[in-house]
Amino acid sequence: MQQEWLEEPIAKIKDPESRRVEKLEARLKVRSAIFFLGVVCLSLVVVVMWEGWNSRQYRLHDQKIAMSNLAQTLSSQAQASIKQADTVLFSLVDRLEIDGMGHDQLPRLQRLLIAQRNELAQLHGLFIHDEKGEWVASSSMVTPSTTNNSDREYFIFHREHPDRSPHIGPSIKSRTTGEWVIPVSRRINHPDGSFAGVVVATLYLDHFLRLYNSIDIGGDGVINLISADAKIVVRRPFSEAKVGSSVANGPLFTQLLPKGSSGTATVKSYVDGVERVVGFRRVDEYPLIIFAALNKDEVLASWRQESWLSAAIVSLLLGILGLLGYRLIRLMRQQNHIQNELLGTQDNLIEANRTLELLALEDALTGLANRRQFDLFIQAELGRAKRSQGNLALLMIDVDHFKRFNDQYGHLAGDECLRTIGAIIRENIKRPGDLAARYGGEEFAVVLPGTDYVGAFLVAEKIRRAVQQAGIEHNNSTEGTVTVSLGVSACNPTSQELPDDLIDASDKALYVAKTSGRNMSVIAN
């Protein structure tokens, strides 16, 4: 076509109708180009906005999971701390109801309380009060000005309730030391079942605060330990004014707890009105709730910075794209053939990118060789081994119970596990000529040129022990940690095996390792 156009007489004059048609076609091409440019710009904006929104939701979701895990951990800590004190109280009540609280028992009781108090770091003190609220014995060496505690909430509760279960009262200030404590108490009965007094264990409020203050929850994060009747027992950041205040009308008790004993949400705080990403959980066995929350604005602060940066970059790209589009339209009007050259260049770039993609030989997750590089490498090394009459060994490695690991800890933890195992394999493959590759999923392969069965088995055992010693937690594994099984195969100088034969032999050995109990290396028969 172009050659024919060049050969046309220059002096040939086109008729007006042809020129009009050509002008119309040119205008249509320009309008199409403008429309296309607008669609590209709009699509770019929509894609960036969509990715930004997804990133925002991911940040919030990720922090919800973090708050849920934190609430679960703190719930276990609170349950363990109170359980230890409650166990002491239970044994004291049993002893007092059998031996009584006579005057001759007091010295022994005093020594027992002091010994028990010294065993538990979270205990502020242990106290025994008779049915009138008078002190019978305590672990404290300091006696307050008043030794009658009948006005305390826990004493009134046990006097009016025959229930024998432990009672956790609101946080109070100790009359002996002036420190904030949490009282855990049990009722003492006379042989006829009537009220005989109370045993009390007071836990340092600071025991909980030290832990809560050591956790990074941002500048405006909150951790609350709340009683079942919606009273704040401990709060970080600590404020004496907040201790004992009610949050019964807050979203925790009106919206979240009615739906379940644990969960996550994004809610506005009833105490200070700040919107937070929260995780909550009831404490097992005791009427307490753990509430952990991050300021939503702090959670999204880095996302906002990234979004502004993305917006600036996109604006710059849109400006550049608009300028290039304008120049392209001008060039379309002046020199139509340039468009063909640009399209040809674009095709070449696309083809070059495809070629580069085909040449990518590294696994993105672990940094090891990928399957394609493995196939090329083992084919080349097997040919070299046959020509040089040398040995070639292959290890196939599979992570034991990896599906269970993913199901329990999540895919992010699974990816981190694979990265760690990949690094361990790389550290134990020392020779420059060896190749470690991710074969697929949780399976890895190691090609060992110039290595026989014995040498390959030693390398396999070295890798297996290194993975086990890494101590990656795996509660659903018989070992309690992540382990690997290995299949070992090798070909001798006279072998006529193909790569598939070597891989098949390793796979069969690996299967034997998996079916024989896992966490072992097996040599192919």
The residues assigned a catalytic role are 442
- What is d(CA 87, CA 84) in angstroms, rounded to the nearest whole number? 5
Q: Are β-strands 521-523 and 484-491 bridged in parallel, bridged antiparallel, or unpaired?
A: parallel
Mode of pairing for the β-strands spanning 180-189 and 195-204: antiparallel
Which of 285, 289, 225 lies closest to 257 in space, CA to CA? 289
* DSSP designation for 362: B
Residue among 126, 247, 236, 241 nearest 181 (CA): 126
* CA 419 to the chain's CA centroid: 15
DSSP β-ladder status, 392-399 and 435-440? unpaired
Q: Which two tokens stand for residue 327?
A: 């120049």
Hey, what are 393's tokens? 């060994």
Please name which of 487, 486, 374 lies closest in space to residue 435, comparing C-alpha atoms.
374
Tokens of 362: 């590294």
Determine phi and psi for 517, rounding to 5 degrees: 120, -5
Q: What are phi and psi of 181, to 5 degrees?
A: -140, 160
Amino acid letter, residue 50 = W
Q: Do residues 368 and 455 touch, judged by C-beta distance below 8 A?
A: no
* Residues whose CB is less than 8 angstroms from the CB of residue 215 and which lie 6 or more positions away in sequence, other chains included: 70, 223
Q: Kindly report the number of other CB atoms within 10 A of residue 14's CB atom.
A: 10
Closest CA relative to residue 437, chosen from 359, 511, 363: 363
- Residue 130: beta bridge partners? 197
